[in-house]
């Protein structure tokens, strides 16, 4: 996984090729799993590349969680044991968070203390 990440995040053509191979399978899997959940009143999908993969039509509402760019880098570096450059490569491979925020139905601020987003989500669910 680390070797593949270093290839696709340092070469946009390689990333585009990989996404063209993976995204159709991801879409099929979501379609299949959503059919199983058809009777549920609420289904949450966590799709980091929702817009990039053109999967937004799977959703009746889009919620975007955000934090500052510095927090995003720090969290990526800590969670995935990445260097600053590796974290920045991954962030550059996605749409800018401000663009995603503009397209969202609801925006949740995840820039504070751990779990600060919970009360915002609970309020939205009400």
Q: Which pLDDT tens digits describe the chain residue by residue (126 residues)? A: 888 888 999 999 999 999 999 999 999 999 999 999 999 999 999 999 999 999 999 999 999 999 999 999 999 999 999 999 999 999 999 999 999 999 999 999 999 888 889 999 999 999
Mark residue 82 as left, alpha or beta (left: phi above 0; alpha: psi -120 to 50; beta: remaining). beta
Residue 20 maps to which CATH number? 3.40.50.300
DSSP 56-84: GGG-SS-EEEE--HHHHHHHHHHHHT--H
Strand spans (E) along 72-122: 106-109
pLDDT at 109: 95
Count of domains observed in the chain: 1
Q: Are 100 and 51 in contact (CB under 8 A)?
A: yes
pLDDT at 3: 86
Give the range of the structural domain holding residue 109, as residue numbers without chain letter: 2-125
């Amino acid at each position: 996984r680390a070797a593949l990440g270093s290839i696709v995040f340092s070469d946009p053509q390689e990333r585009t090729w990989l996404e063209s191979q993976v995204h159709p399978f991801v879409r099929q899997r979501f379609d299949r799993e959503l059919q199983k959940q058809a009777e549920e009143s609420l289904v949450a999908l966590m799709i980091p590349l929702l817009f990039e993969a053109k999967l937004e039509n799977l959703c009746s509402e889009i919620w975007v969680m955000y934090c500052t760019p510095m927090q995003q880098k720090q969290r990526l570096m800590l969670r995935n044991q990445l260097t600053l450059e590796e974290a920045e490569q991954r962030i550059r491979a996605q749409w800018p968070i401000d663009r995603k925020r503009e397209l969202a139905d609801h925006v949740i601020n995840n820039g504070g203390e751990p779990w600060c987003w919970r009360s915002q989500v609970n309020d939205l669910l009400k």
